[in-house]
Homo-oligomer: A and B are copies of this chain.
Amino acid sequence: MSQPKIARIDQSKLRESAYDALHEAFTRGAFAPGETVSLRTLADQLGTSMTPVREAVRRLVAEGALVDTPSRTLEVPPFDADRMRELKSARLALEALLLEEAMDRIDKDVITGLEKIISAPRSETGTPDLKQNYDFHFTLYRQSRSRVILPLVEALWLQYGAFLNLVVREQAAGEIPEHIHHEEIIAALRDNDRKSAQRSLALDIERSFKLLLPES
């Protein structure tokens, strides 16, 4: 029994490419809540036919990033404070589980990687570092090797991502020091201090929603 010497070529799979492109756009806050999108437009922009886009869109709908309207168009869910509160409590519950699992397995190299992520030069454009924040959390969560909860959390971030679009404008005024909690988390990881790590993560999640849920 010989092991394969060469890797499989990852054939076509336009559906995956389309999904990846849209996923990236969502985490970037490229879509505004309430905005409607058209399959044909997306297909044109991606340079494919409607079929792969449709399947990618079906997945996004299943994940809550898009919703079907009664008139059979697609729209980015409009802002909704109740939904936002649910996103927050779901994130608090599930990301705590991921952190717990991750701390069972994480090694020094990954922690160093996390430090590298947050110490990367902040973007010069004045836009908040959405991608940096995403990368920090998910390289941490991926250490959990979770195959059930991690996809759920990805879906939550996807829903949350659209709302970030609303925040980007006033971000400069908000001046949220997001890296503070990230540094606390890294320190706790080094000390293997679970309590402290959980507390810092919870604070970081709370922080994420401060601008969108001012009352809390």
Neighbouring B residues of A86 by C-beta, 8 Å: 146-149
Interface residues on chain A, number (Cβ under 8 Å): 29
Asked whether B62 lies within 8 Å of A63 as measured between CB atoms, the reply is yes
Question: Which of B70, B94, B149, B156 contacts A8 (CB under 8 A)?
Answer: B70
Q: Is A159 an interface residue (CB 8 A)?
A: yes
Q: DSSP class of A's interface residues: helix, strand, loop or mixed?
A: helix
A41 to chain B, nearest CB (A): 19
Interface set of A (CB-CB < 8 Å, partner B)? 8, 54-55, 58-59, 61-64, 70, 82-83, 86-87, 89-90, 93-94, 96-97, 146-149, 151-152, 155-156, 159
A-B residue pairs in contact (CB < 8 Å), sample of 20: A8-B70, A54-B55, A55-B55, A55-B58, A59-B62, A62-B62, A62-B63, A64-B151, A83-B147, A83-B148, A86-B147, A89-B97, A90-B94, A90-B97, A90-B152, A93-B93, A93-B94, A93-B97, A148-B159, A152-B155
